[in-house]
Chains A and B, each alone.
Chain A
Amino acid sequence: MSSRMFVALCLAPLLIVAAAFFVLPLARLVVVGASGPDGAAAYLAILTEPRYRESLVATVILAVATTVATLITATIVGLFVQRHDFPGRSVLVALLTFPLALPGVVVGFMIILLAGRQGLIGEVARALTGQRLVFAYAAGGLFLGYLYFSIPRVILTIMASVEKLDPQVEEAARALGAGAWAVHRDVILPALVPAFIASGAICFATAMGAFGTAFTLATRTDVLPMVIYTEFTLNANFAMAAALSVGLGIVTWAALAVSRSAAGTSVAAAG
């Protein structure tokens, strides 16, 4: 067997599976999206139809807010954990990254336990103020849920980048008289920018497409994935659901593509 043929044989099953269960379905999705009463104009509905547009805007705001908050949180925590050695450090890292594997539905449940009708925050608030605080089912709960599944991922990326920093550059800055704050502002944070771009994009894309958390919380805020789901199952409007999900796919894919060319590296979007 020639080596060319062997390599082709190695790749063939992958190509078949990818074609049958990914490329073909996506192509069909695009076609079906244009098959509704409005034809290809359905693709513009995400911008023109007020209901969809509001949902898109709300989703983007939520995703951006999640990304910003996550980056800040993860940078503070990641720097601390990577830069300090203390007993139980590896356990702490394990705890911080544990939610990585949790599906969105379970994250939703975690938020219910925290801020739901029988939630911990509510109990604490009642003990302190006499008022029960319940926000799991409002935008605040959704935001908290998105933070919950975003923080672990971004922490991992930040920690990996912090580990790669060259300590001599920092020492050079300190030798030149830079204090701790100046070192962070002028040396450490700039060096982490590629990690911010990469993990921020993944964070944004994941937040845009997240479905399970919103589903569990049954939030009043209509995020785009929930709208798509509703169109598909309740309204049986396949064409509109397809058009909207193609639009959503383009937004998330574009976010990742832009960040990748900005960071100049290919980054793995972890689960």
Chain B
Amino acid sequence: MIAARLPVALQAAFTVLVTAFLIVPAVMSMLAGVTVQYSRGLSSGLTLEWVVEVWTLYSDTILRSVLIALATLGCTLTIGVPAAYGLQVTGGRIARVIEEIITLPLAIPGLAIALGMIITYGGVGSFRQSSLFILAGHVVFTMPFMIRSVMAVLGVIDLDTLDESAASLGASRWQRFIDVVVPNAIPGILAGSLTVVTLSLGEFNLTWMLHTPLTKTLPVGLADSYASMRLEIASAYTLIFFVLLVPLLAAMQFAARNRATRGRQ
């Protein structure tokens, strides 16, 4: 009996260790962000001084990141949802090839994509200098997540028959898309949206190459603070990032669990 339990106990202990490895530094950074002096530990007292300082130094990067994330979401919704539907109804080899191409950004390092974009559009000054340049990169990078997420949902409903039945009731192509396709794809759209916003907020590989001094985003600012600021400020900045991120992650978990329980019914 004990022999049979031992491996489980070891497994449990290992799991706790791994969890600690993942979570302890995150907690440390959050605490460090509100600690008066990190090297003296929590006993030095708690303060919001660092957070305020981060806000004065970096508020523009935070706002820009939020705006870019929302704009990325807007683009992936307006472009990705119809495209997911188009790919689903087209099917066959053409759809597979298109899907393959648009998911390629997942397989190719962001650095390479960013270099390509700079080489191609570096000469177009106004575009290169604006946040739109970063937006374009984020849209390319997040699009496959939205499309796959929506297609996964469209794939399990009997789209063709629903479409035909709406057509038999007199609905035009457009009406069918709005009344039948989109509402039934909502779980996928929701999951895709959360992923897109989360990824855009944290995107660094592409953004570091694409940004200019006037278009810094939150992760770019983070890298900057890690390299040049005292640990407390870097931590406070990271804390703000976590505060933005955690609700998104919680919503994602909630949506996933919702879907799992509904799927089981």
Contact = CB atoms under 8 A, between A and B. Distances in A.
Interface of A: 1, 3, 6-11, 13-15, 17-18, 20-29, 32, 73, 76-77, 79-81, 84, 90, 92, 94-106, 108-114, 118, 120, 147-148, 151-152, 180, 205, 208-212, 215-216, 218, 225, 228-229, 232, 238, 241-242, 245-246, 248-249, 252-253, 256-257, 268-269, 271
B204 A14 contact: no
Contacts of B78: 13
Q: Is the interface of A mostly helix, strand, loop or mixed?
A: helix
Given A101-B199, A110-B26, A249-B112, 4 more contacts: A98-B23, A114-B24, A118-B39, A118-B231
Contacts of A100: 249
For B113, B174, B203, which residue has the most chain A Cβ atoms within 10 angstroms?
Answer: B113
Interface in B137-158: 137, 139-140, 143, 145, 147-148
A32 B105 contact: no
Contacts of A242: 115-116, 119
B77 to A, nearest CB: 11
A68 B145 CA distance: 26
B173 A269 contact: no
Interface residues of B, number: 88
Contacts of B115: 25, 29, 228, 232, 241-242, 245
B202 interface: yes
Contacts of A215: 208, 223
A225 B174 contact: no
Interface of B: 4, 7-8, 11-12, 14-15, 18-19, 21-26, 28-29, 32, 38-39, 75, 78-80, 82-83, 85-87, 89-90, 98, 101-113, 115-117, 119-121, 136-137, 139-140, 143, 145, 147-148, 172-174, 177, 195, 198-199, 202-205, 208-209, 219, 222-223, 226-227, 231, 234-235, 238, 241, 245, 248-250, 253, 257
A97 B71 CA distance: 26
A7 B109 contact: no
B19 A21 contact: no
B140 A1 contact: no
Given A98-B22, A103-B203, A209 B110 contact: yes
